[in-house]
Amino acid sequence: MNKVLTERWNSVVGQDDIIYCLGDFAYGRGTNPAKYFYRLNGEKHLVIGNHDGKETLDLPWTTINDTAEIKTHYGTIVLCHYAMKVWNKSHRGSWMLYGHSHLTLPEDSSMSFDVGVDGWNFTPVSLPQISRKMEWKRNNPGYFNSVPKTRDEIFLFNQQTNRQFL
């Protein structure tokens, strides 16, 4: 699986691209984060996750933060490993992206969603994909009234919703 993750990362991230990892960069017994870090394209920034240990934190990330706030031509985007109900400038149209939940939190019409690779065909999500999904959420608020309730149903619902943005 690590080989697939590396291939998919490098298929969409160029050497000069900026990429934010929203935590849990390399997880698992015996995982060597450096082995993968140096194979991955891009200027890499880390937003710390609950499974990012010393070996991950010691890598030469461009930045390492608990949260990040970036300015893009789409507007302000708040980044955190964990989902938030409200975030800086959420009432002024900023977006909030997170990981951690493995696509098991119910989607809603807020300008926030899970960008963890397990919900995106194990591939990093681009800003244009994020923008298309945010625009779709803005235009389809009633869609989320029918969100399923069990963890498995939520995962499948979110996965099916994301497919149109791949």
How far apart (Å, rounded) are the C-alpha atoms in residues 4 and 124? 12
The pTM (predicted TM-score) of the whole model is 0.90
Instruction: Specify whether the CB–CB gap between 160 and 46 falls below 8 A.
Output: no
Beta strands in 81-156 (DSSP E): 95-98, 112-114
How far CA 5 is from CA of 35, 85, 100, 136, 142, in Å, comes to: 13, 29, 17, 27, 34
Q: What is the pLDDT of residue 141?
A: 81
pLDDT one-digit tens code per residue, 29-74? 778 999 999 999 999 999 999 999 999 999 999 999 999 999 999 9
Highest-confidence range of 30-34, 81-85, 117-121, by mean pLDDT? 81-85
Q: How far apart are CA 159 and CA 28, in angstroms?
A: 24
Q: What is the pLDDT of residues 122-166, one digit of tens each?
A: 999 999 999 999 999 999 887 777 766 677 888 888 888 888 887
Topology classification of domain 2-163: Purple Acid Phosphatase; chain A, domain 2 (3.60.21)
pLDDT for 30: 73
Predicted confidence at residue 131, as pLDDT, reads 97
